[in-house]
Structure 1
Amino acid sequence: MKWLPLVALAVPSQAYLRFGCATLSVQRLDPIVEPGRLPSSHVHQIVGGNAFNATMDPKIDIAEKATCTTCSFSEDFSNYWTAVMYFKARNGSYKRVPQYPNALLGSLTGGMTVYYLQNDFSTNGKAKITAFKPGFRMTVGSPTNTKGNNPGLRYTCLQDVMTRAPETAEFPAKPCPAGVMAIHHFPACWDGKNLDSPNHQDHMYNTGKGGFVTAGACPSSHPVRMPQVAFETMWNTTGFNDKSLWPADGSQPFVWSYDDSKGLGTHADYLFGWKGDALQRAMDSTPLLSNGIKTQSVDQANKCSVKSTIVEPIDGWLDKLPGNPMPM
């Protein structure tokens, strides 16, 4: 499939960036929550720049260190990652669920769709949108969450590759004809001071209402409006739709790599790495199509990767999940 230029993706709405990033690596590393730990507690799927490693010093601008990126914008060396989805068979064994790219984004290898919104799909609003700075990082969600109280963390049971509704807080309860889409919306209000915080969330404040709608006004404690970042990851669960493999009680069989079968603990990580002022130029642009950000081909994006630091089986049928899954 041929790579589609941004103009084909954004018409008629133009007030956002929407692009694909191929898979960079699948392994147990987490330089934000578990920096330097080899391996981290559970498996992640990572996209973006090839500076990704177990310890990413916030004093180092990764846009200057990386030499390639799996994202369609060649000036974006940021890293984006989530946990990995596994199928748990009736006999208790596990198998990693493959990913596939959004239908509009070409023949990428797995990966995810990334969004940066100024305000919503059709306008950049009236507020100044301040781009993230080198060293900035944040997370959304928590693997220990059992309440599902974040409206920006959702799932869609895909009837076809273009399905976008309805959304649920938990994993879909029935087999999905075209797979499962996991959605992660990050907060967009910054305290204006800290590039990180001890829990990687307190320097940001979430006024989002779920979905791609205009977020509420930023509070005085976090007055700086930043881009609204969101991920969409397409998980191809169709190879596991045979209900004879599902649990005998009929419950849904998919788990995150930390052994969450409800899906309420879904979470995601973001580490900024745009080159120079590219993202700020995009946020200042009306419409975004005039931002002049450089792009690259699908083939170039697919070629970028990093070697696995952790050598362990993560594919095929496994007797147990890699690492130390958290009891849910």
Structure 2
Amino acid sequence: MKRSSRSFSALLVCTALVTTVFGIGSITAAADPAPAAAGPSVSAHAGHTMAASAVPSGDDADGDGYIPANPPVTGVTPSDREPTPRYFHEFQANCAVTHTAPDDPIVFPAQPGKSHDHTFMGNTTTNANSTTASLYGGNTTCKAPGDSSAYWLPSLYKGDKKILPIGPQVIYYKAGVTDYTSVRPFPKGLRYVVGNPLQSAQDFRSHPGWVEGWECGESFKNVDFPQNCPAGSQLNLRMQAPSCWNGLHLDTPDHKAHMAYPIVKAGTNNNVCPASHPVALPMIEFKMAWPVDGDMSQVRLASGRGYSFHYDFFNAWNEPTLKALVDHCIVGGLQCDPRGYDQAHPQEGAALGPDYRLP
């Protein structure tokens, strides 16, 4: 049976997460900054409740929101060892924008047009009906042809004009745990949502994936959009994803419960995966740049104010390609470009060939 791997207590936890985190129940929001000047009316609640889909789809035949890993990864103990310190353990998956659409194959699978507008990167075919099978091996705007994963975020507007990031955007794959040698590749078909379009300003500021907030010019750590950005500058944002997996599910009804952020081990400064989510995976970090400057009072997201920012990831990497990059760059303690090459350590070579494919 599909639910055999989860206990009644796990059901209670997931129900609580869906109810309290994603706004199905009551929400107590922190005080928000003063509203931006009026643009076209947008509600963060419109078309994006983050509730369980309750709609059968290609990867979730009964529509209950649980997609089991096959096979599951069990018997893992979170690693608390301290390997030789390396300042970097990462590689980049630079991916350009492909298209925009009011679709979300994670939150609203098989329901085209139900979401607020999203800007998609990576796989060129991503839509509401996307499944692991439809994405895997597909065309991509990522530097490495082996990365046919789908990445998306709420579209950004200035007034009525949609502003799209130009060129490849930096998507880091890093170690989120101190023992970077314990990181393993994503399982095929893993998906999750980072952040929440219903979050308050304080929720966004205290989110474990927060890095520096919205920034441009000399303005940093903004929860909402800066009031003004210098001419010629770009609006930037970085946000990190959870990197510890329960080993059991590729998705859960709230699109988050199967993932967790590392925790600090008591008595140390070491980041480790919690026992409930013992499998260390790459930590994705979006580093987005939008070509918008000047008066920012008309800037908004399709999901609402700046603090409604969130993003989605749907893994469709070619397994040998991802493993080569993870092993060479993250486990190997290098700072790699999309080819898996570290300019500071040229003697280590590259994980991929000049065409960004496995040699």
| TM-score, with structure 2 as normaliser | 0.62
Aligned to 2:98: 24
Q: Please tell me whether residue 181 in structure 1 is matched to residue 236 in structure 2.
A: yes
The counterpart of 1:130, out of the listed 170, 184, 191, is 184
Q: Which has the larger radius of gyration?
A: 2
| Offset at residue 166 of structure 1 (A) | 3.1
Aligned to 1:15: 89
The counterpart of 2:144, out of the listed 51, 73, 81, is 73
Aligned to 1:257: 302
* Structure 2 unaligned spans of 5+: 1-85, 335-339, 342-348
Aligned CA distance change for structure 1 residues 220 and 14 (closer, same or farther; 3 Å): closer
Aligned CA distance change for structure 1 residues 195 and 215 (closer, same or farther; 3 Å): farther
Contact 1:48-1:70 at 8 Å conserved across structures: yes
Aligned CA distance change for structure 1 residues 296 and 189 (closer, same or farther; 3 Å): same
Q: String of CA shifts for 1:177-222, please: whole Å, max 9, x gaps.
A: 402112221000101111111111110002379xxxx982111000
Q: Highest relative contact order (Cα 8 Å, sep 6+), 1 or 2?
A: 1
Which one-letter code corresponds to 2:192 in the other structure?
M
The counterpart of 1:115, out of the listed 172, 175, 186, is 172
Which one-letter code corresponds to 1:83 in the other structure?
P
Q: Please tell me whether residue 274 in structure 1 is matched to residue 317 in structure 2.
A: yes
Which one-letter code corresponds to 2:148 in the other structure?
F
Aligned to 1:192: 247
Aligned CA distance change for structure 1 residues 145 and 176 (closer, same or farther; 3 Å): farther
Q: Please tell me whether residue 63 in structure 1 is matched to residue 122 in structure 2.
A: no
Distance 1:182 1:293 in 2: 29
Aligned CA distance change for structure 1 residues 84 and 71 (closer, same or farther; 3 Å): same
Distance 1:222 1:77 in 2: 26
What's the C-alpha RMSD, in Å, of the aligned pairs? 2.7
Matched length: 246
Aligned to 1:323: none
Distance 1:47 1:279 in 2: 18
Which one-letter code corresponds to 1:256 in the other structure?
L
* Structure 1 unaligned spans of 5+: 1-11, 89-93, 101-107, 247-251, 298-328
Aligned CA distance change for structure 1 residues 56 and 142 (closer, same or farther; 3 Å): same
Aligned CA distance change for structure 1 residues 76 and 179 (closer, same or farther; 3 Å): same
Contact 2:176-2:283 at 8 Å conserved across structures: yes
Aligned to 2:351: 292
Aligned to 1:86: 157
Moved beyond 6 Å, runs of 4+: none
Q: String of CA shifts for 1:142-176, please: whole Å, max 9, x gaps.
A: 111113231424534222xxx8x733222223334
Contact 2:263-2:272 at 8 Å conserved across structures: no
Aligned CA distance change for structure 1 residues 294 and 39 (closer, same or farther; 3 Å): farther
Percent of pairs with identical residues: 24
